[in-house]
């Protein structure tokens, strides 16, 4: 796992306690925290909480209490600024936003901010009227114009009893944004990647459906990886429990027919299409308007094939001739590579990701996967067992190589 270092600045707001969860979420993503608390933050949470979580001294003031400490701490903000990759401030209060915007430096955090020349991520939290106030909004605009990321606060009930925009974004979301900002690459800049993910649900009656075990993890990992590499990402997702990754446009669908319509609608603007969704192959021919009663001992269901979205996309991409790259998946339990080669040809893909879904702990629902890439040029590339997120980057490496080949030929 990569190792980044972030200064986590904690401002004095009721959401200060959530910074503890943020520090844990950052650690989960391989980002170490050095916590800095303002005097006001210490009224809400004790530094000991953060010291225990990070195993490091929490910085609470610009000057120490002894003469030696005063001497050391007079330049500490410079050292801390140079040793860290990112400054994350959560909660960023109206007061902190104003100080940063205007360059006031009267405590450790605001002094550190002035000395910090790397990425800055601010997660505001305050009363909704304070957030909407023209002074705050102009400070936010100034900070964004400086290249800092200022997250939008969330809507909801606020500690003051009022409701509206002003809640601190969820710590997991702040950590995701921090990770994105740190890990962001640019090799897919200019590409539009269309990813399908998850299962589809084909209704049997108004309360029942046919579906499969796809969790969406593989497709969501691909969508996130592509966004982190600079692509615009359109994620067409069947029903899953996952939150859409940040910086991804998510189109939610239920049935194969809806997925087809969404894919075809976004196909013209896409340069790379990756179909990792587990689309139901059949749907019920005549779905009754009312719930089927339990009367018969056997209930025959008549099934019709769903549209083959991959094959339709393949035909359309070939017809349009604009150098778009098409990647299919093949979930198989036997003759995995042979079936992938057959699908590659039949559906006019440039590459198929062959996924053996019979292996224990791999494929459907798991965090890990192991796949073989089969390309039009006859290459067979085995990707050893790894986290789906890591495999997503490997798949995109090959996608980028093929896309550049297509581009140079067109």
The set of catalytic residues is 160
Distance CA 296, CA 277 (A): 34
- Cβ nearer to ligand PMT, comparing 12 with 219: 219
- Element (H or E) spanning 237, and its range? strand 232-237
Query: In this chain, which stretch among 75-83, 110-118, 139-147, 212-220 interacts with ligand PMT, using CB under 6 A?
Result: 212-220
Collapsing DSSP to helix, strand or coil, 110 comes out as helix
Contact call for residue 53 and ligand PMT (CB under 6 A):
no
Query: In this chain, which stretch among 92-100, 121-129, 137-145, 272-280 interacts with ligand PMT, using CB under 6 A?
Result: 272-280
Contact call for residue 54 and ligand PMT (CB under 6 A):
no
Contact call for residue 130 and ligand PMT (CB under 6 A):
no
| CA-CA-CA-CA dihedral for 390, 396, 397, 400, to nearest 10 | -170
Minimal distance, residue 93 CB to ligand PMT, in Å: 40
- Cβ nearer to ligand PMT, comparing 91 with 198: 198
- Cβ nearer to ligand PMT, comparing 139 with 306: 306
Tokens linked to 275: 């179909």
Minimal distance, residue 266 CB to ligand PMT, in Å: 14
User: Tokens 């601190």 label which residue?
Assistant: 168
Distance CA 162, CA 123 (A): 20
- Cβ nearer to ligand PMT, comparing 6 with 278: 278
Task: Identify whether the C-beta of residue 88 lies closer than 8 Å to the C-beta of residue 35.
Answer: no
Contact call for residue 344 and ligand PMT (CB under 6 A):
no
Show the binding pattern over residues 230-269: x = contacts ligand PMT (CB under 6 A), - = does not.
--------------------------x-------------
Out of 179, 217, 229, 232, the only residue in the binding site for ligand PMT (CB under 6 A) is 217
Q: Indicate if the alpha-carbon torsion angle 305, 306, 307, 310 is positive or negative.
A: negative
Omega prior to 330 cis, within 30 of 0: no
Out of 86, 328, 341, 402, the only residue in the binding site for ligand PMT (CB under 6 A) is 328
Query: In this chain, which stretch among 117-125, 182-190, 315-323, 329-337 interacts with ligand PMT, using CB under 6 A?
Result: 329-337
Length reported for the chain? 410
Backbone angles phi, psi at 245, to 5 degrees: -60, 155
DSSP lists the bridge partners of residue 394 as none
Contact call for residue 166 and ligand PMT (CB under 6 A):
no
- With CA atoms as reference, report the closest residue to 121 among 184, 67, 79: 184
- Cβ nearer to ligand PMT, comparing 58 with 256: 256
| CA-CA-CA-CA dihedral for 149, 150, 154, 159, to nearest 10 | 140
Distance CA 147, CA 159 (A): 30
Out of 136, 215, 324, 375, the only residue in the binding site for ligand PMT (CB under 6 A) is 215
Minimal distance, residue 331 CB to ligand PMT, in Å: 3
Contact call for residue 201 and ligand PMT (CB under 6 A):
no
In the region spanning residues 110 to 129, those forming contacts with ligand PMT, defined by CB under 6 A, are none
Question: How remote is the C-alpha of 389 from its chain's centroid?
Answer: 10
Distance CA 278, CA 351 (A): 17
In the region spanning residues 351 to 390, those forming contacts with ligand PMT, defined by CB under 6 A, are 355, 357, 363-365
Out of 128, 181, 214, 270, the only residue in the binding site for ligand PMT (CB under 6 A) is 214
Contact call for residue 276 and ligand PMT (CB under 6 A):
yes
Minimal distance, residue 394 CB to ligand PMT, in Å: 13
Helices (H) and strands (E) counted in the chain, each on its own, are: 15, 19
Contact call for residue 139 and ligand PMT (CB under 6 A):
no
Show the binding pattern over residues 277-296: x = contacts ligand PMT (CB under 6 A), - = does not.
xxx-x---------------
DSSP lists the bridge partners of residue 194 as 234, 273
- Cβ nearer to ligand PMT, comparing 285 with 289: 285
Question: How remote is the C-alpha of 206 from its chain's centroid?
Answer: 33
Q: Which long-range CB contacts under 8 A does 368-372 form with residues at least 24 apart?
A: 369/218, 371/395, 372/336, 372/337, 372/340
Collapsing DSSP to helix, strand or coil, 273 comes out as strand
Contact call for residue 317 and ligand PMT (CB under 6 A):
no
Distance CA 265, CA 272 (A): 14
- Cβ nearer to ligand PMT, comparing 96 with 395: 395
- Cβ nearer to ligand PMT, comparing 95 with 370: 370
Question: How remote is the C-alpha of 45 from its chain's centroid?
Answer: 30
Binding site for ligand PMT (CB under 6 A): 196, 198, 214-218, 256, 275-279, 281, 306, 308-310, 328-331, 343, 355, 357, 363-365
């Amino acid at each position: 796992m990569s190792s980044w270092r972030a200064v986590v600045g904690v401002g004095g707001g009721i959401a200060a306690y959530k910074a503890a969860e943020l520090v844990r979420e950052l650690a989960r993503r391989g980002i170490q925290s050095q916590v800095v608390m303002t005097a006001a933050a210490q009224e809400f949470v004790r530094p000991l909480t953060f010291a225990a979580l990070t195993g490091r001294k929490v910085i609470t003031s610009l000057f120490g209490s002894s003469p030696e400490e005063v001497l050391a701490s007079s330049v500490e903000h410079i050292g801390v600024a140079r040793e860290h990759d990112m400054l994350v401030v959560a909660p960023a209060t109206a007061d902190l936003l104003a100080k940063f915007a205007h360059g006031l430096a009267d405590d450790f955090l605001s002094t550190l901010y002035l000395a910090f020349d790397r990425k800055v991520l601010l997660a505001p939290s305050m009363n909704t009227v304070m957030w909407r106030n023209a002074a705050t909004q102009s400070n936010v605009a100034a900070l964004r114009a400086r290249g800092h990321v200022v997250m939008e606060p969330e809507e909801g009930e606020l500690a003051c009893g009022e409701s509206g925009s002003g809640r601190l974004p969820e710590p997991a979301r702040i950590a995701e944004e921090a990770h994105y900002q740190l890990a962001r690459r640019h090799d897919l800049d200019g590409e539009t990647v269309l990813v399908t993910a998850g299962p589809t649900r084909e209704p049997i009656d108004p309360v029942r459906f046919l579906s499969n075990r796809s969790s969406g993890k593989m497709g969501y990992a691909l969508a996130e990886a592509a966004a982190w590499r600079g692509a615009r990402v359109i994620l067409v997702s069947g029903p899953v429990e996952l939150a859409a990754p940040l910086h991804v446009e998510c189109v939610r669908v239920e049935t194969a027919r809806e997925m087809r319509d969404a894919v075809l609608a976004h196909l013209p603007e896409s340069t790379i299409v990756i179909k990792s969704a587990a689309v139901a192959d059949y749907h019920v021919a005549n779905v009754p308007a009312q719930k089927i009663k339990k009367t018969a001992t056997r209930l025959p269901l008549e099934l019709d094939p769903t549209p083959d979205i991959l094959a339709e996309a393949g035909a359309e991409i070939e017809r349009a001739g604009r150098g778009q790259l098409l990647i299919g998946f093949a979930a198989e339990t036997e003759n995995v590579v042979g079936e992938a080669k057959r699908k590659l040809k039949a559906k006019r893909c440039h590459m198929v990701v062959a996924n053996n879904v019979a292996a224990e702990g791999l494929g459907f629902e798991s965090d890990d996967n192991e796949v073989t890439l089969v390309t039009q040029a006859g290459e067979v590339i085995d990707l050893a067992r790894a986290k789906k997120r890591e495999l997503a980057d490997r798949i995109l490496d090959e996608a980028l190589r093929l896309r550049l080949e297509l581009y140079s030929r067109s």
